Amino acid sequence: MIKIKDIYIAHEKGLEPVAPIAKEAIEEVMSCFPAFKEAYPITVLGNWESEHLRTASDGKLLLEAYESTNWYIGQAAQQAISDGRASGIKLNNRKIKVNGQISIDSLYDNLSRDPYAKRIPQIQILLTKHDLYGTQSNGRLLNFCLGVSKEDAFSIVSTARFIRPDGVFDQEGFKTVVMHEFGHAIGLTREGRINTYEQLGPHCADENCIMQQRLDGDFSDITRRRLIFKAHDLPPICPDCITEGEKFFRRSLAKALIRDFNIRNR
């Protein structure tokens, strides 16, 4: 099968140990669609910086628009300061230091305009260590959010609420949310599908599926069910989600075939 899209995982500096966990989560979802796994290769980009970054007179790399993971995080931090959600920002070419949350709306808007995504077929996974806040479609404030996705484009996930009081990172809880958000990116609960309900967007009504939604951010019960299912070699998503995912991948394959045909016949 031809390559349809790359899946790129990028993250803030300091999340290097977390990136392989996110990769495992995406692989676990893609295992439900074996016919399409090779068509969506996964690459960990790390704390990504473009080769087009310029250097300032002091030798530091400039944070140019769309040219690094740090630029996206910096823009979200600046928005948080404007919204009164953060303070004390410090930006340079390697670190983003901010006291408080950062804006998921800023990340969403900027990733939606990413010029690289327009040139290179891809689904992006952006991992941040900062806690996130945002707004609902009705304009109401979300005091915090674990992540958000845009279909066939990207997912954003924060690690902040998976650090337990004892400092231990909840790997399996984090994996569940990465899988959930990636599920949205591949259209598993798109509008009009059966067996869904509306809660911050369409979500699956099957209580044993990772595509259900918890407003309180507690995915512990969903994670426990997922691990029980995994121990018995059962998929983390329900039959309706698998059916919808197969439809998504078939549509994507058709688009890729047309794209490649047009490229060859220019």
The CATH number given to whatever domain includes residue 169 is: 3.40.390.10
Closest Cα partner for 127 from 151, 143, 106, 146? 146
**CB 15 within 8 Å of CB 46:** no
pLDDT band at 260, cuts 50/70/90? confident
Helix axes 171-185, 220-231, angle to 10 degrees: 90
179 domain residue, yes or no: yes
Quick one: how many helices (H) and strands (E) in the chain? 7, 12
Q: Positive or negative CA dihedral for 174, 189, 254, 153?
A: negative
Residue 196 lies in a domain: yes
In the structure, what pLDDT confidence band is assigned to residue 90 with cuts at 50, 70 and 90? low
- Say if 1 falls within a structural domain: no
31 within a domain of the structure (yes/no): yes
Structural domains of the chain, count: 1
Residue 249 forms part of a structural domain? yes
Query: Is residue 39 very low, low, confident or very high in pLDDT (cuts 50, 70, 90)?
Result: very high
Mean pLDDT over residues 56-64, rounded? 66
| Model confidence pLDDT, tens digit, residues 101-141 | 999 999 999 999 999 999 999 999 999 999 999 987 777 88
Q: Rg for the chain (alpha carbons), in Å?
A: 19
Which residue range is the domain that position 172 belongs to? Answer: 6-264
Neighbours of 90 (CB within 10 A): 11
Residue 108 is assigned to a structural domain of this protein: yes
The overall average pLDDT reported for the chain is 90
Tokens 């290097």 map to which residue? 16
- Rounded to whole angstroms, what are the CA distances from 136 to 69, 104, 202, 209, 218? 24, 11, 13, 23, 19
Cβ atoms of 40 and 156 within 8 Å: the answer is no
Q: What is the mean pLDDT of residues 48-53?
A: 85
In a domain, 239, yes or no: yes
pTM over 0.85, yes/no: yes
pLDDT the model gives residue 264: 79
- Mean pLDDT in residue range 208-235: 92
> Does 206 fall in a domain?
yes
Q: Scanning the structure block, which residue is given the tokens 């009705």? A: 138
Predicted local distance difference test score (pLDDT) of residue 223? 96
Angle at 154 between CA 153 and CA 158, to 5 degrees: 170
25 and 182 in contact (C-beta within 8 Å)? yes
